[in-house]
Amino acid sequence: MAVGLSDVLPPLHAVAGVRLGTTAAGIRKPGRPDLVVIELAPGSDCAAVFTRNAFCAAPVTVARRNLAARMPRYLLINTGNANAGTGAPGLRGAEECCAALAAQTGCDPSEVLPFSTGVIGEPLPVDRIVRGLPPARAALRADGWADAATGIMTTDTVPKGVTRGLRLGGHTVTVTGIAKGSGMIHPDMATMLAFVATDARVRPDLLQRCLQEAIDDSFNCITVDGDTSTNDACVLIATGAASAPPLLSEQDERYPALREAIAGVCMELAQAIVRDAEGVTKFITVDTVQGRDRDECRAVGYAVALSPLVKTAFFASDPNWGRILAAVGRSGLSGFDVDAVSVYLDEVCIVRGGGRAPDYTEERGREVMQRSEITIRIELARGHARARIWTSDFSYDYVRINAEYRT
């Protein structure tokens, strides 16, 4: 069960210039929503970030190529099949799906960006996807965000969506986003798909910069199991359908407000992915502070967040602080003074002066570990930098879900 998330999405505001349609194409399981078409108004701009996994999926290759050629009119998303590890036939399959949607809508195939998620190594069922395009297009509507959030799920237990409204220079602007992700989560950029849209008008290069900044503090700060997917993608759309004048530079006084809204949507979506991690029972924040720079703080944070021993201790609600200490110690910091480090579980100091804090008791540690949301704070006493990572515990269900994933 997801930690701190409802299985019912809050109302998601429509973004002028975006319509979404969802259908059940039978890609893997009959009757399950698994195909989404997102239509963008002419003149919309897009920015995107994709996985750095060398075995990137065919749709990632095609989407990168198409986005480099021209701005898209449609996004085509399927779940149930990742179309990864499929070689040349996988590329042809992704291209055929783009061509089919283009033929039905009158756009060029390069104006379609494909995205896939699901089982790796299986042939893409192109015929089912193509047959699903007419009903998906028939379902297109501006308020289709919630259905689309459900339609892109794989092992997710709840749909994930966030919406924000803001005023830019006297004009109302909307930012709405959806994401999927539950397992195989780790930068770059987790195992996830995320689609965020605004009706502001933003110059394309500024839009890309805004997206990268938002991702660095959100989707690239989460980990569930240390596995980076072949299919990760995050897309930021700016339709320009709001009446606000275009944003052309970072010096525009309106830009910080829009950047903050987009970053906030990405942050909530990223945290929702960890809160819905496979088999999750604990949502864990690893807050590393007083480092020399952000990179070393992240190194320490990830050493703790990725440790199976730490994660299983949290599942057991066992305040086994030695596991945390060991993970911090192997993080690779140079000139590391272990006697200067302090470690906290929420408000309880567990490590100080190179060992167990003198005032720490197992009873206090156990009380914190019973909570469903816990912060590990690591004070390095080396500087003023900090980094925050979000992770989950490892439960029996994580093993079961992944052991049974293809059955």
In this model, does residue 157 exceed pLDDT 80?
yes
pLDDT tens digit string along 55-79? Answer: 899 999 999 999 999 999 999 999 9
Q: Are 389 and 286 in contact (CB under 8 A)?
A: yes
Q: What is the pLDDT of residue 335?
A: 87
Which domains, ranges and CATH numbers included, belong to the chain?
18-275 (3.60.70.12), 283-403 (3.10.20.340)
- pLDDT mean over 214-239: 89
pLDDT tens digit string along 239-282? Answer: 999 988 899 899 999 999 999 999 999 999 999 999 998 889 99
Q: How far apart are CA 197 and CA 237, in angstroms?
A: 4
Which is the catalytic residue, given 117, 191, 223, 285?
191
Q: What is the pLDDT of residue 279?
A: 86
- pLDDT mean over 138-157: 96
Partner residues linked to 117 by β-bridges? 79, 81
pLDDT bucket at 298, cuts 50 / 70 / 90:
very high
Residue identified by tokens 């909307």 is 174
The identity of residue 165, as a single letter, is G
pLDDT tens digit string along 164-187? Answer: 999 998 899 999 999 998 877 776
In this model, does residue 406 exceed pLDDT 80?
no
**Three-class DSSP labels, the chain:** CCCCCCCCCCCCCCCCCEEEEEECCCCCCCCCCCEEEEEECCCCEEEEEECCCCCCCHHHHHHHHHHHHCCCCEEEEEEEECCCCCHHHHHHHHHHHHHHHHHHHCCCHHHEEEEEEEECCCCCCHHHHHHHHHHHHHCCECCCHHHHHHHCCCCCCCCEEEEEEEEECCEEEEEEEEEECCCCCCCCCCCCEEEEEECCCECHHHHHHHHHHHHHCCHHHECCCCCCCCCCEEEEEECCCCCCCCECCCCCCCHHHHHHHHHHHHHHHHHHHHHCCCCCCCEEEEEEEEECCHHHHHHHHHHHHCCHHHHHHHHCCCCCHHHHHHHHHCCCCCCCCHHHCEEEECCEEEEECCEECCCCCHHHHHHHHCCCEEEEEEECCCCCEEEEEEEECCCHHHHHHHHCCCC
Partner residues linked to 119 by β-bridges? 81
Q: How far apart are CA 265 and CA 259, in angstroms?
A: 10
191 is catalytic: yes
> Token pair for residue 354?
């190179």
Residue identified by tokens 């779940």 is 79
How many angstroms from the chain centroid is the CA of residue 268? Answer: 9
pLDDT bucket at 12, cuts 50 / 70 / 90:
very high
How many angstroms from the chain centroid is the CA of residue 372? Answer: 21
The set of long-range contacts for 351-356, using a CB threshold of 8 Å and a minimum separation of 24, is: 351/321, 351/324, 351/325, 356/321
- pLDDT mean over 384-391: 97
In this model, does residue 54 exceed pLDDT 90?
no
